[in-house]
């Protein structure tokens, strides 16, 4: 790389340019699901001008462009080999803009754990994910399914505006009134449309929740899952819940089945009434349900253990006996992935599927299947593992939740959107990123709208 041009770029921006000889490079070059990446430059941006300059620099020097917020993207595309990474970790502030209307602004580079802690000081929370270290940027742009999803909807359902820099370097504010096409696309369309620096959310007035984990006798998988699915159809919307079938991992981690649960509200009696039936689904081996601040519902990410996640996803209209039969028949077999089933419905379902680019609104549950493979597994083998692990369940599901897909190939991206939604995203992409500058993501190819004759 032209060292003079690099020095001039580094001098012009307010943030830091981290090259391979920098002391911080080794910590910053990898992300959760990609440990072997070696980008040429990591740019820790501080301003919108920094971002515009980094986009220009990457184009002038033909460097692939990656955008990173929390680094938990399953595709591993928030870093790269030989390219430029825009790192948003300095955009990590959490501000209350207007306490009376619960309007808050959160930097894309903040983690949900830090955001939840900062908001707790104001008695506020936002429906987001279940893990502390996941980034605000990536999770929000994909939708956001978490502990308050049935009561308050997806993370994007609380979004009122965002600030971003587009491929041509413009700093834009987008909302229902400002660039509404882009505002629609950002809510589920991922990192395709520009670099988002902050999100304005209407937060929820929640301080405490009741929740935790209930572990059941693994021998009762089929009946516990059937009863869980039946109960969640009539459970109050305050209750969000995830069923997990863990197939075992190594000699010290045997197969397990458990339910994670969160009641969104401080009323302990109502919470106990709602959670009570979950304690009757089967023989309970252990449970730790307790009243806690909402931010304590968010857990640490599981330890890396030298493995990466190969994951798939799909939605289900009804968790019927066919689906439960497949899960029961495969549980504990070699190569079976971890199966997470997240209960949906409630507020998520009440939003018009065409209102945001996240369109899978009318489904009972979302599946997340995660196979854990050694970090150095070759790409062809990963593809094989992905297909094998998901083979039995795929025909029974529809679509995919983009944030739960580790593959970013064209057919996976197509799976993540109904055709009308995909086509609309492609038209918005053509308006704001016609040259597909932002292509390290679940990439939507730009397709200009047909011109009137
Ligand atoms: C342990 C774990 C737990 C999870 N739990 C949940 C959960 O409970 N609910 C849920 O919905 N999802 C969950 N996810 C999935 C998560 O939402 C996605 O992996 C998400 O992409 C992570 O966001 P990030 O900012 O940390 O990732 P990054 O790796 O930084 O980003 C992922 C991609 O998003 C794009 N991107 C990120 N930030 C920006 C930005 N500011 N501007 C433009 N594009 C950007 C880029 O294309 C990037 O490659 C989980 C993932 C993990 C690994």
Query: Does residue 439 line the site of ligand 1, with CB under 6 A?
Result: no
pLDDT exceeds 90 at position 302: no
Provide mean pLDDT across the span 242-265: 93
How do the domains of the chain map onto residue ranges?
3-87, 94-202, 208-414
Pair 382, 337: CB distance under 8 Å: no
* Burial (CB count within 10 angstroms: exposed 0-12, middle 13-18, buried 19+), residue 234: exposed
Distance from the CA of 142 to the center of ligand 1, in angstroms?
7
Query: Does residue 137 line the site of ligand 1, with CB under 6 A?
Result: yes
Provide mean pLDDT across the span 203-228: 97
pLDDT exceeds 90 at position 113: yes
- The whole-angstrom separation of Cα 188 and Cα 361 is 12
Pair 319, 365: CB distance under 8 Å: yes
CATH architecture of structural domain 94-202: 2-Layer Sandwich (3.30)
Mutate to test the pocket of ligand 1, among 37, 116, 126, 139 (most ligand atoms within 8 A of CB): 139
Share of the chain above pLDDT 70, in %: 99
Mutate to test the pocket of ligand 1, among 43, 50, 73, 365 (most ligand atoms within 8 A of CB): 73
- The whole-angstrom separation of Cα 380 and Cα 252 is 29
Query: Does residue 109 line the site of ligand 1, with CB under 6 A?
Result: no
pLDDT exceeds 70 at position 233: yes
Pair 241, 259: CB distance under 8 Å: yes
Query: Does residue 71 line the site of ligand 1, with CB under 6 A?
Result: yes
- The whole-angstrom separation of Cα 203 and Cα 270 is 22
- The whole-angstrom separation of Cα 301 and Cα 306 is 14
pLDDT exceeds 70 at position 451: no
Phi, psi of 215 (to 5 degrees): -100, 130
pLDDT exceeds 50 at position 300: yes
* E strands, 232-358, in order: 239-246, 256-263, 284-287, 290-293, 307-316, 338-343
Q: Name 208's bridge partners.
A: 293
Helix (H, G, I), strand (E, B) or coil at 172: strand
- The whole-angstrom separation of Cα 337 and Cα 229 is 20
Distance from the CA of 453 to the center of ligand 1, in angstroms?
41
CATH architecture of structural domain 3-87: 2-Layer Sandwich (3.30)
- Ligand 1 atom nearest 72 alpha carbon: 26
Provide mean pLDDT across the span 261-274: 95
* E strands, 16-55, in order: 16-18, 41-44
pLDDT exceeds 70 at position 452: no
Q: What is the dihedral of CA 99, 102, 104, 110, to 10 degrees?
A: 110
Distance from the CA of 403 to the center of ligand 1, in angstroms?
6
Pair 309, 406: CB distance under 8 Å: yes
Mutate to test the pocket of ligand 1, among 137, 166, 367, 368 (most ligand atoms within 8 A of CB): 137
- The whole-angstrom separation of Cα 298 and Cα 285 is 23
- Ligand 1 atom nearest 136 alpha carbon: 25
Q: Name 195's bridge partners.
A: 165
Q: What integer pLDDT is reported at residue 46 of this predicted model?
A: 98
Q: What is the dihedral of CA 407, 154, 298, 43, to 10 degrees?
A: 60
Distances (CA, A) of 426 to 162, 184, 212, 419, 422: 20, 12, 41, 10, 6
pLDDT exceeds 90 at position 274: yes
Angle among Cα 211, 159, 316 to the nearest 5 degrees reads 60
Q: What is the pLDDT of residues 328-381, one digit of tens each?
A: 998 988 788 999 999 999 999 999 999 999 999 999 999 999 999 999 999 889
CATH architecture of structural domain 208-414: 3-Layer(aba) Sandwich (3.40)
Distance from the CA of 143 to the center of ligand 1, in angstroms?
10
Query: Does residue 142 line the site of ligand 1, with CB under 6 A?
Result: yes
Count H helices and E strands in the chain, helices first. 14, 17
Provide mean pLDDT across the span 165-180: 98
Q: What pLDDT band is residue 239 in, cutting at 50, 70 and 90?
A: very high
Pair 141, 199: CB distance under 8 Å: no
Phi, psi of 167 (to 5 degrees): -60, -30
Q: What pLDDT band is residue 1 in, cutting at 50, 70 and 90?
A: confident
What is the phi-psi region of residue 179: left when phi exceeds 0, alpha when psi lies from -120 to 50, beta otherwise?
Answer: left
Provide mean pLDDT across the span 81-85: 98
Q: What is the dihedral of CA 19, 23, 29, 32, to 10 degrees?
A: -170
* Burial (CB count within 10 angstroms: exposed 0-12, middle 13-18, buried 19+), residue 49: middle
Mutate to test the pocket of ligand 1, among 86, 127, 129 (most ligand atoms within 8 A of CB): 129
pLDDT exceeds 70 at position 382: yes
Q: What integer pLDDT is reported at residue 453 of this predicted model?
A: 47
User: Whose C-alpha lies nearest to ligand 1, atom 7?
Assistant: 129
Residue reference for tokens 């002391």: 23
DSSP element (H, E) containing 73: none
Query: Does residue 224 line the site of ligand 1, with CB under 6 A?
Result: no
Helix (H, G, I), strand (E, B) or coil at 277: helix
Distance from the CA of 441 to the center of ligand 1, in angstroms?
11
Mutate to test the pocket of ligand 1, among 72, 89, 261 (most ligand atoms within 8 A of CB): 72
Q: What integer pLDDT is reported at residue 12 of this predicted model?
A: 97
Say what the pTM is.
0.97
Half-sphere exposure at residue 132, Cβ-oriented, CA atoms within 13 angstroms: 14
Half-sphere exposure at residue 369, Cβ-oriented, CA atoms within 13 angstroms: 23
Angle among Cα 115, 36, 369 to the nearest 5 degrees reads 60
Query: Mean pLDDT lowest for which of 157-171, 307-321, 377-391, 401-415?
Result: 377-391
Helix (H, G, I), strand (E, B) or coil at 58: helix
């Amino acid at each position: 790389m032209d060292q003079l041009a690099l020095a001039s770029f580094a001098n012009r921006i307010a943030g830091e340019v981290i090259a391979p000889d920098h002391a911080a490079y080794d910590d910053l070059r990898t992300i959760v699901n990609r440990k072997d990446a070696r980008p040429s430059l990591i740019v820790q941006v501080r301003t919108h001008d920094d971002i515009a300059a980094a986009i220009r620099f990457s184009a002038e020097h033909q460097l692939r462009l990656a955008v990173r917020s929390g680094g938990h993207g399953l595709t591993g595309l928030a870093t790269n080999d030989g390219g430029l990474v825009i790192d948003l970790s300095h955009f990590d502030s959490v501000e209350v803009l207007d306490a009376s209307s619960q309007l808050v602004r959160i930097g894309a580079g903040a983690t949900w754990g830090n955001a939840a802690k900062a908001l707790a000081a104001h008695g506020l929370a936002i429906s987001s994910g279940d893990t502390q270290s996941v980034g605000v940027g990536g999770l929000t742009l994909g939708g956001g399914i978490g502990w308050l999803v049935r009561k308050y909807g997806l993370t994007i359902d609380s979004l009122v505006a965002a600030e971003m820099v587009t491929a041509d370097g413009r700093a834009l504010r987008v909302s229902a009134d400002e660039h509404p096409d882009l505002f629609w696309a950002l809510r589920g369309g991922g990192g395709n449309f520009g670099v988002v620096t902050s999100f304005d959310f209407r937060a929820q007035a929640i301080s405490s929740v009741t929740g935790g984990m209930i572990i059941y006798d693994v021998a009762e998988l089929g009946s516990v899952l059937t009863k869980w699915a039946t109960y969640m159809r009539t459970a109050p919307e305050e209750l969000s819940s995830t069923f997990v079938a863990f197939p075992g991992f190594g000699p010290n981690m045997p197969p397990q089945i458990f339910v994670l649960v969160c009641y969104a509200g401080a009323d302990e009696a109502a919470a106990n009434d709602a959670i009570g039936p979950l304690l009757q689904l089967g023989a309970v081996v252990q449970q730790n349900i307790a009243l806690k601040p909402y931010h304590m519902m968010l857990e640490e990410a599981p330890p890396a253990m030298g493995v990466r996640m190969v994951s798939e996803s799909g939605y289900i209209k009804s968790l019927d006996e066919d689906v439960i039969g497949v899960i029961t028949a495969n549980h504990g077999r070699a190569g079976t992935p971890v199966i997470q089933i997240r209960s949906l419905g409630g507020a998520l379902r009440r939003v018009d599927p065409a209102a945001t680019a996240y369109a899978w609104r009318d489904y009972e549950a979302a599946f997340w299947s995660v196979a854990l493979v050694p970090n150095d597994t070759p790409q062809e083998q990963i593809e094989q593992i992905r297909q094998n692990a998901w083979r039995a369940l795929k025909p029974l599901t529809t679509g995919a939740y983009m944030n739960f897909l580790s593959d970013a190939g064209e057919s996976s991206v197509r799976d993540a959107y109904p055709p009308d939604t995909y086509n609309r995203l492609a038209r918005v992409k053509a308006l704001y990123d016609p040259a597909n500058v932002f292509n390290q993501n679940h990439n939507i190819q730009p397709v200009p709208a047909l011109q009137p004759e």
